[in-house]
Each structure stands twice: as structure tokens, then as C-alpha cells.
Amino acid sequence: MASAESIVYTATRGLVADRVYPDVAPASVAKPYITYQAVGGVDETTFDGLNEQQNQRMQVNVWATTRAAAGALMQQVLQALTAAPVRGTPIGSPVSEYEDDTKLYGSRLDISIWFTV
């Protein structure tokens, strides 16, 4: 069964040597890495029940040791998630972040992904 989570993982894992994690990454993971989480979507339930086509809004976060590396990785993620076969639609533009506790630079993006269950 397809899910937006599995689509994000499969499309981005090659960018960071499989260092793609739901929600949070392990503390000792090598950098850069990617995290993702579901943050909403479009409800396609009808009177006939759940539609085979479903939508999930995914927040994808990249983390790196420099701002430039985070920005470059986010551009690769954008390419991977908007190209075939995913064809996701970005919701806005990437947002830059800095995590003081870990001293990591990040970039996050929400993307709408349609998939068949």
C-alpha cells in the first residue's frame, strides 16, 4: 500500500545515503540528513467512502552543518519530489532554520503529494 511517507522516503533516500527519518533523526546520525512528517492534506472522503486517490501534506526538513549545504540539499529534495513519478506540489517556498542546540542549519518545505492506496 502506498503512503506519502513511503513516497518521500523512496524519492529522497539516495540524496543522503538512506539517512531519511520520520519525525526526528537519531542523535548520532551523520550529516546531512532528512526528516519528514505528515502535517495535513486534502480529505477525499465521499458518501461512498474513502477515495482511492488520497492527498497528504508532508513537511520535509533537511539538516546540514552549513547554510549552503542545507540550501543545496533542499534544492535536490525539491527536484526529487516534484519530478515524475512523485509530481508533488510545493506549498510555498523553503524556510531556513537554525537549531542552536545541535548547531545545525536546516531548511523546511511543505509539499502536497497525491497517491493511490
Question: Quick one: DSSP state of residue 14?
Answer: G
Q: Could you tell me which residues are beta bridge partners of residue 61? A: 35, 108
Q: Domain count of the chain? A: 1
What's the pLDDT score for residue 45? 63
What's the pLDDT score for residue 2? 80
CATH code for the domain in which residue 49 is found:
3.30.2000.30
Structural domain including 52 reads 4-116
What's the pLDDT score for residue 5? 96
What's the pLDDT score for residue 46? 61
Contacts of 30 by beta carbon, 8 Å cutoff, 6+ apart: 17, 19
| Cα-based angle 1, 5, 18 (whole degrees, multiple of 5) | 110
Angstrom distance (rounded) from CA 68 to CA 74: 10
Instruction: Give the mean pLDDT per block of 10 residues along the chain (117 residues).
Output: 90 98 95 95 66 88 98 98 96 96 96 90
Report pTM: 0.90
Backbone angles phi, psi at 49, to 5 degrees: 115, -165
